């Protein structure tokens, strides 16, 4: 009787990283004035590496 199981041929290593950075600046009771602000930065790192 033969064994017909398949070998794992997946040699790809995947990397998936996502992130979101949020920054807020508030100027309250500031004599010189200034504007309050809010900003965001979306970042991602997606890669695949083939190793055998």
pLDDT, one tens digit per residue, over 7-29 is 766 788 899 999 999 999 888 77
Contact predicate 11/52, CB 8 Å: yes
Tell me how far apart the alpha carbons of residues 43 and 39 are, in angstroms, rounded to a whole number: 13
Task: Give the residue among 44, 26, 46, 43 at the shortest CA–CA distance from 35.
Answer: 26
Between 1 and 4, the more confident residue is: 4
Do residues 26 and 36 lie in contact, with contact meaning Cβ atoms separated by under 8 Å?
yes
**Side-chain half-sphere exposure of 34, counting CA atoms within 13 A:** 10
What stretch of H or E contains 42? strand 37-50
Q: What is the pTM of this model?
A: 0.50
């Amino acid at each position: 009787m033969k064994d017909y199981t398949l070998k794992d041929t997946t040699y790809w290593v995947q990397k998936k990283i996502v992130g979101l950075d949020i920054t807020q600046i508030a100027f309250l009771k500031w004599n010189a004035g200034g504007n309050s602000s809010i900003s965001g930065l979306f970042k991602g790192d997606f890669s695949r590496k083939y190793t055998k």
